[in-house]
Amino acid sequence: MSSPKITADEIRRWKGHRRIAALTAYDYPTARLLDESGIPVILVGDSLGMMVLGYPDTTHVTLEDMEHHVRAVSRARPSGLIVADLPIGTYDSPHAALAHARRLVAAGAAAVKAEGGRAIVDSVRAIVAGGIPYMGHLGMLPQSVLEEGGYKIKGRSEIEHQALLEDARALEKAGAFSMVLELVTPPVAEEITARCSIPTLGIGCRTACDGQILVMHDLAGLFPWFTPRFVTPMASCAAEMRRAFTQWRREVESSPSPPAAQPPSTP
């Protein structure tokens, strides 16, 4: 018998009562493993652009890509809350944001996430008014990597500090049930967490938030070509897979060859 589905309202109520663990999933088997591990929030992130599709960043990910992977994750029927990223260019207006959020929900998501604060608050309000739970995302915004020239820690200056606080208040007021804080300095992340009534999920913020969110491949050591400095892998899946593949290849190559075909005899 499957466990009851975790809802966005339930996650919101965990603020101050329970630490929240969230991981990404992009396919059916991973979603099943996360469910069997009791992970309460499963993010189908546009990080699939790098982790699965081989893109250099998330700016190449399309809504169709997201729908495809959300469907795969939802087929696992996890009890955890499935949150899906709205990819770049899909929430530039309230009308577009709601229409595209509905497509992700139709694919199997229970909530959606987008990047930004006050600049997208009208889109956030439209999504929430449409009955779709919304998770915010502040700090380092991967979809802005080309504009900013890289992935940079946020909150170091007083201007960034105040902007993050105002963005967090705006998302909370617009109806977000939680928010991701990515690469925000721990003191600022801690202040946002203390001032907001909704849970914060940190990535690269140490333990300053109500919970943590990570890319599953980073935690499992499944993307060995790059690991963020703030992640300590808890497994070495890539190394174990490489060992198994190599051993199998060697066994195949060293196995006896079948007898050579004999030419047909002539009468």
* DSSP classification of residue 202: E
Q: What is the pLDDT of residue 142?
A: 96
Residue in 182, 191, 240, 253 annotated catalytic:
182
Query: How far apart are alpha carbons 251 and 236 in whole angstroms?
Result: 23
Distances (CA, A) of 188 to 167, 170, 192, 240: 12, 16, 6, 39
Query: How far apart are alpha carbons 86 and 41 in whole angstroms?
Result: 16
Q: Is 182 a catalytic residue?
A: yes
SS3 246: helix
Q: Which residue has the tokens 């721990």?
A: 186
Which residues sit opposite 171 in a β-bridge? Answer: none
Decide: residue 66, CB within 10 A, 0-12 exposed, 13-18 middle, 19+ buried: buried
Q: What is the pLDDT of residue 196?
A: 97
Q: Are 35 and 79 in contact (CB under 8 A)?
A: yes
- For 166-183, give one letter per residue: b (16+ CB within 10 A) or e: ebbebbbebbbbbbbbbb
Compute mean pLDDT per 10 residues along the chain, 267 residues long, and list them.
86 97 98 98 98 97 98 98 98 98 98 98 98 98 93 96 98 98 97 98 95 98 94 96 97 90 73
Domains of the chain from N-terminus onward: 8-214 (3.20.20.60)
pTM listed for this prediction: 0.94
Q: What is the pLDDT of residue 265?
A: 72
**Gap between the terminal Cα atoms of the chain:** 70
Q: What is the pLDDT of residue 1?
A: 45
Q: What is the pLDDT of residue 267?
A: 65
Q: Are 41 and 60 in contact (CB under 8 A)?
A: no
Query: How far apart are alpha carbons 228 and 233 in whole angstroms?
Result: 10
SS3 225: coil
Decide: residue 61, CB within 10 A, 0-12 exposed, 13-18 middle, 19+ buried: buried
